[in-house]
Structure 1
Amino acid sequence: MTDICFGPDLDDRVIPTPPTPQGGFLFAGPKKLLAFLESALGLTGHPNNNDYLRIEQYRQALLRHLEQCPDAFYAASFVADQFATATELLSRRDELLLAGWGFDLVPEMPERLRTLAEIEQLFHQNAEDPAARLDPGFADRMVAIMHKLSVRPHPVRHIYLNERKELLPVHFRRLVEALAKQKGTVLHNPDAGTQAAEAPPTDLGNFKKRLVAPSGKKEKMRLQKDGSL
């Protein structure tokens, strides 16, 4: 079993580093958490540096879509700069996927959403052809993890959030809630005031207490130079 401390900025090195290696505990940002859960749930094998490939795949899908719908809302932008247009529309597509949209075509839907749904359908029409598929990005991998969490257990015992759950992007709120739903998993959602009050007497701990202290004149803080801040 593993305990995880998750924060949006914890993909980088966490300072101060522990004096000895710690097994069963992981400091993780979005990328590390994604990779850990993929490994635990049998979803490994996705590269992290495939943005350039996905943009080209989406550009080719836009070319195919324009053959069918030459007056699509993005047509003029695509003529001016194909790669910039593909990059922007792919980003919007990924945002919608993370928000939970399934790209279903329904009557009387907004034009731009309909267009993005039509483009998405192009990838599913030839799903057996690897050349016609869209490589999975961060959003696709997150959706796959959420699906797996609904049907199989995970090895996470405690989830410590580096900041309050309410401040996280919605897809990470859903993820930590899905992790915490399974029996034996505890979610620790910090309260800013309580967290600061219980902070250890290090430079970082004293700085936290200063940030949430009542307004008014504050005494200067003398640093201990312990490497925590």
Structure 2
Amino acid sequence: MGGTVFMWSPHENTILNKIVDQLKVVVEGGSYGVAGLPAPADAAELIEFLSSLVQDGSRAMVDLCALSKKAYFAEGIKGSSSIKKVLPSLMKRSEVLKGLYSGKVYGSAVAGALPAPMFSKNFKDFAWWVPEASNPSVPVEPYELLRRYGADLLGEEVRAGEDPDELAITEGGAAATAYARLQFEDVDAATRLKIREALLRYCELDTLAMVMIVQGWRGLIQP
């Protein structure tokens, strides 16, 4: 397994280190979280893999946020290096991103005009470059598309006592809260599944966003 692994801010080092600590606890016979689940079968491999990605690991992650702070300045982001500012800025400017992500090509088994299909575990036949209704030259921000997609999936399934915004996770604070709920709250199976699926969609977009940003940057600097 090779290749460069991206992160957006050193906080991701902290989270991976915490997950490694949790895995070590359950491997040694302890329990973590309300469910007290046993260690996963591949816990040792997970510990080795995650340890390789953190600071001083053999494949330490590259911080794209730090690179953005040093080298990417664009109208509208107001000096911010937030991934939720940088990505929409590039989506507006980059013809490369427009060409790659227009049309329902993400999560499709068909490549269409692309070199290869864009497989996804959490989206199917999805478009990430979608024009604003009021201004077709400007795309809807990807995290807003995620919110709409999550809300559409929930549809009539939102039950009494459930918060639709909580089940359509679109930002880091909500994701951290949802992750903690799954560990420490006695959540019923149906709600647990919805939160899990929303977390997976959010995490996939956060990962894809870094790929998109690199693609956008490359498109801006290459002739």
- Give the TM-score normalised by structure 2: 0.21
Which is bigger in relative contact order (C-alpha 8 A, separation at least 6)?
1
Pick the structure with greater CA Rg: 1
Greater helix proportion: 2
Greater strand proportion: 1
- Give the TM-score normalised by structure 1: 0.21
